[in-house]
Amino acid sequence: MENFLNSVRSLGIFADNNKAYKAKLNGSYNVKIGEDVETCDIPGSCLLPDGTMVVTDWSNKRLKRLDASYRVTDHCDLPEEPWGVACTAPGEIAVTMTDLKKVQFVSTGASMSLTTSFSTSEYCRGVCYSKGELFVSCANLSKEGTGYVAVYDLNGTQLRTVKTDPSGQNIFSVPHHISIISDGSRVYVADQNAGIVTLD
């Protein structure tokens, strides 16, 4: 660990970019299927290499695969509510289940099916993947200021944690969503109180 910390340029930075972006709504799509009992609540999504999309349906405890026209073509039931989802390899995704404090891997072959999983030490929400590492946003949901980003390998071994800035101050309150740019050089975390936090 000491060697790793000595080799790291920084554990993170705060970015204050006042550049405004505009988004245009492309449309609204109904992802409800016949088996759904609750109104769909979609906190996470990811694109698969084949151009399809997987969304997490929190309320119905389900993953749903959508085709290019955003029609549900496949679904997979989960033991608890899913939050974040990330593609880890062709044919595989990782899904966070907050209340179980678990990351579940799912095969995305002809039909989706659960494979392996590992536990996290706190409630987990967002997840993203780059170069063999899963970045998972975690927090004790009953105590603000306890949030952190845990980095795991695909076997569930925790490699490192990002929690404080160089002065020892907590970076996060309750981190929700997380994303990484394609070259893996920056991680963006949407935090309940801190807004968007950039880690490099």
Q: Which residue has the higher pLDDT, 145 or 140?
A: 140
Dihedrals φ, ψ of 64, to 5°? -135, 130
Look-up of token digits 């987990």: 124
Separation of alpha carbons 90 and 178, rounded Å: 21
44-102 pLDDT, tens digit per residue, is 999 999 999 999 999 999 999 999 999 999 999 999 999 999 999 999 999 999 999 99
8-41 pLDDT, tens digit per residue, is 443 444 444 556 678 888 888 999 999 999 999 9
Two structure tokens written together for 90: 């062709």
Residue 31 in any domain: the answer is: no
Between the alpha carbon of residue 132 and those of residues 1, 78, 88, 154, 171, the distances in Å are: 18, 24, 8, 7, 24
- What pLDDT was estimated at residue 103? 98
User: How many domains does the chain fold into?
Assistant: 1
- What pLDDT was estimated at residue 22? 80
Residue 52 in any domain: the answer is: yes
Residue 94 in any domain: the answer is: yes
For 179, the domain range is 2-16+38-199
Residue 25 in any domain: the answer is: no
Separation of alpha carbons 189 and 58, rounded Å: 20
Residue 179 in any domain: the answer is: yes
Residue 87 in any domain: the answer is: yes
- What pLDDT was estimated at residue 152? 98
Segments in the chain forming alpha helices (H): 2-7
Residue 156 in any domain: the answer is: yes
158-197 pLDDT, tens digit per residue, is 999 999 999 999 999 999 999 999 888 999 999 988 999 9
- CATH at 118: 2.130.10.10
Residue 33 in any domain: the answer is: no
